[in-house]
Structure 1
Amino acid sequence: MTYFNKDDVTLLPTLLTLGVLLLVLSAAGWLLRQPSPSAVLANSLVSHAAVLAGLLVALTGGAVPAGRLLAAVCLLVLAQLTMAPGPTLLVGGQALATSLLYAGFRLAEETACGRHQILVDSVLLTCAHGVGHYYRHMTRSGHMAALVATRRCIDSRVKLECEREHQEQLLLSVIPAYIAAEVKRGIMVKMADVRATDKTAKKQFHDLHVQRHNNVR
């Protein structure tokens, strides 16, 4: 049994159905693009409902046998597992429902082609599920690694800010505030001069910032 023939135009309804399905999924992703968990869950349910409805229409239309939709079902399973939002358990269950729907119509088809063909279809669908879950796991691992790296950078920045504030408090506890302000201003001026002249030579600070105080007890 051949799945695709060049002279066979019965695949046009299936292609149109899948095209409309793609538009529905795109519209659902655009309308429910808020990052809240409820919106993500609603987007996932709407997307998978559209997938199951499109597959059901394609299977029950009668124009295309169920066996010819194997490639389309594999692509739908991969799309569900790799691009659909929502928890992994929910997405995996809905992809499994898609496969079971196809398998049910495949078994109930009048012109059954034997157990070997059904076994081949099951192996291909299992491979599609395995590839989809592997891709989803690797993508989530990459996102978690990026999140951990970003968190470390933020923690380092916060730690540096805390150390800088601690040094400023220590400086203010040793010398008066106005002298500390003059010291900081002098350092900033010299750093600006170094940046402007683009010189890397090391120079010592000659400003002593010493003032005379009378009647100190």
Structure 2
Amino acid sequence: MPERITSRENGKIKYACKLAQSAAFRLEEKAFFAEGLKLCLELAKSCPIKVIYYTEKALAKSPELKRFDCEQYLVQDHVAEKLAGTQSNQGVFAVFGQPVSSFLDLPHNGRFLALERVQDPGNVGALIRSAAAFGFDGVILSPGCADPFGPKVLRASMGAAGRMPVVTCPNLADALAQLRAWGSTCLAAALYNSRPLNEVDGA
């Protein structure tokens, strides 16, 4: 039987909340927090699940939650409300190990989406999801972009950040120069003086 948590001040709850709130803590712990049944099940396909929390109602609706080989906690509704980052919650939350991706491990001559200082979490998540849907080989972020493993980005990406490499580079210009050296054609989106993509050589 999973251990019951009845207090919002429980250390396991505080740890999960800190992961949800702090990008620096996520980086330090090499872990991230997610909520929602569909998102957690999707992430579990590609990321190691370390801890799962669920309410009695959520477990009754989705008994498969018990199959995960990790720490499991049955939380009361008022505890779930503290974990939740949305006004209404599904009563399912989890802590995952963060996938380790390095720029130098990216495939040469692959297709990548590079984002420069895109700060809105919803936009970053949607772009990562789109890159995965179009079969890109990874996403490269500059400093100043929203954390790809923040709760809002994860929801918007629908777990895509767990399925494909997402790397943050200290200097995006240097990263693009390396991609060109590997044989990639680099294209930039622009509002003015731009050309349709199908007219560009190498697109």
TM-score by length of 1: 0.23
Higher share in strand: 2
Please state which structure has a larger fraction of its residues in helix: 1
Larger Rg: 1
TM-score of the superposition, structure 2-length normalised? Answer: 0.24
